[in-house]
Structure 1
Amino acid sequence: MIDHAHDLESVRGATERLLTAAAKMDNAGVTESSRLPGWSRGHVLAHLSRNADALVNVLRGRPMYPSAETRDADIERDAPRPLDVQLADLRDSAERFQEVGTAPADWSRTVELRNGVTDSASRVPFRRWAEVELHHVDLGIGYELEDLPDEFTRREIDFLTERFRGHPDVPALVIEEDGGRRIPTGGEGEPPLVVSGRRADLLGWLAGRRDGSALTVHGGTLPSLPPL
């Protein structure tokens, strides 16, 4: 069972780690390239702020973004801002998310995200946790997949394997963690490919952050995964 209150506290902790780390940059560092193609670090920070507000919209029953074009334009508008403005916006938007998240609500209700995707309201805090943790890594300022909390890494692997389960563009797979846990995902087929490795490397591949070269594949070659 998803514990949204626990996940809200995890979001708070992850946000504080990100704010503390990002505060060590300077204005020039904000303009440098992130690990995401075509995005500066300012783009990543701006996206995180606007995503917090978008998830507030979701929890309040409003469209996540007015449109895809508006989402992209807002990120482009906010990306060049100096570091102090970026950090203040990130902190303020994070507090708005926490405020809505701690208000009395029916957490079993279904909410709508982007592109018609629906989910339980109770999983929205975990989705935000994933945004903060993975984009902290994307900034390229010393926080790596290996530094992610163990609980988050395990749960995000579960989330992504669930997302790819039954996907027509993904062959039958078994994800095998270095601790021995095995998770089926992908489409149908026998026998499935077995992809094994460290949790950080498995998460990196599933989340599109690593090429999978550190993984071991039994029964074939490592497939390309569709974008998230």
Structure 2
Amino acid sequence: MSGMKPTVEIEGCRAAHAELDRRLAGLTEKTIRRISALPDWTVAHTLAHIARNADSVVRRLRGVIDDQVMDQYVGGQAGRVAEIESSAGQPVAELLADVRASSAAVEEIIGIVPDDAWDRLSRSVSGDLTPAHRVVYSRWREVEVHHVDLGLGYTPADWPVALVERWLPELVQGLAGRADHAALLAWMIGRGPTPDLGPWG
């Protein structure tokens, strides 16, 4: 990937945005106030997160274009939480317009990142420095996963093969750092319950 435009990830983002937009049609105020698949978050909170994550992608890629390392969220984790809470309170029409506009902004800025800038770094909310091509990959994953969390009929079976085939090996490789090793081994060979793996990212 080094020095190369992340074409697969860009197309994945665009397709994920389009599929999400299609399923947002007809959502009501009642629907967005129900609980999503995420603990303590309504559908509105999840949509707000998708929108504010898009803003963070734009912020990071704007920094890449300007050759500056930018933080993912203004104010870090606390700023992220505050942005989501504020956005989740919008009426349904405004929230859906927000999601669509922020996703469109991601696609717009992706189109103007210079081809030689995809290895430039930005800072994630966890503090990690990641290259621009990973920012686009992360956005693709975020939209696909949280689309499922919305509970609108989109399921893991709908995830693109290209995403699954890339992401699954990465997660499997990282399993050893997410659980007690003996418990993990017992589970993988059918000799124990599913261990607590903690958050994926």
TM-score, normalised via structure 2 length: 0.84
What code does the residue aligned with 2:71 have?
Answer: P
- SS of equivalent to 1:36: coil
Matched, 1:223 2:195: yes
Structure 1: gaps (5+ residues): 174-185, 187-191, 196-216
1-structure distance, mates of 2:25, 2:120:
37
- For residues 4-23 of structure 1, the aligned pairs below 5 Å read 4-23=6-25
Taking the aligned partners of 1:3 and 1:155, their CA distance within structure 2 comes to 17
How many residues were matched structurally?
189
Q: 1:153 to 1:57 in 2, by over 3 A?
A: same
Tell me the distance in 2 between the aligned counterparts of 1:82 and 1:62: 31
Note the alpha carbon deviations across 1:185-213, whole angstroms, 9 max, x for none. x8xxxxx4573xxxxxxxxxxxxxxxxxx
* Structure richer in strand, relative to its length: 1
Counterpart of 1:29 (choices 31, 34, 55) is 31
Q: Could you list the per-position Cα deviations for residues 36-62 of structure 1 after superposition, in whole angstroms to 9, with x for gaps in the alignment?
A: 010000000101000011112222132
**2:127 is aligned with what amino acid?**
G
Q: What's the TM-score once normalised by structure 1's chain length?
A: 0.75
The within-5 A match list for 1:1-228 is 1=1, 4-59=6-61, 60=63, 61-67=69-75, 68-105=77-114, 106-165=117-176, 167=177, 169-171=179-181, 192-193=185-186, 195=188, 217-228=189-200
The separation in 1 between residues aligned to 2:154 and 2:5, in whole angstroms, is 26
Structure 1 position 159, deviation (Å): 3.1
Are the structure 2 counterparts of residues 172 and 53 from structure 1 closer, same or farther at C-alpha, using a change threshold of 3 Å? farther
Aligned equivalents of 2:106, 2:146: Cα separation in 1: 17
Checking the alignment, whether the CA contact within 8 Å between 2:178 and 2:198 is kept in structure 1 is no
Q: How far is the alpha carbon of 1:171 from its aligned partner?
A: 1.7
Q: Is the 8 A contact 1:30 1:40 kept in 2?
A: yes
Which has the larger helix fraction? 2
Separation in 1, partners of 2:92, 2:165: 32
Q: List alignment gaps of at least 5 residues for structure 2.
A: 64-68
Q: Deviations over 1:70-122 (max 9, x none)?
A: 21111111112222211211111112111221213311223221121222211
Q: Specify which structure has the bigger relative contact order, considering alpha-carbon pairs within 8 angstroms and separated by 6 or more residues.
A: 2
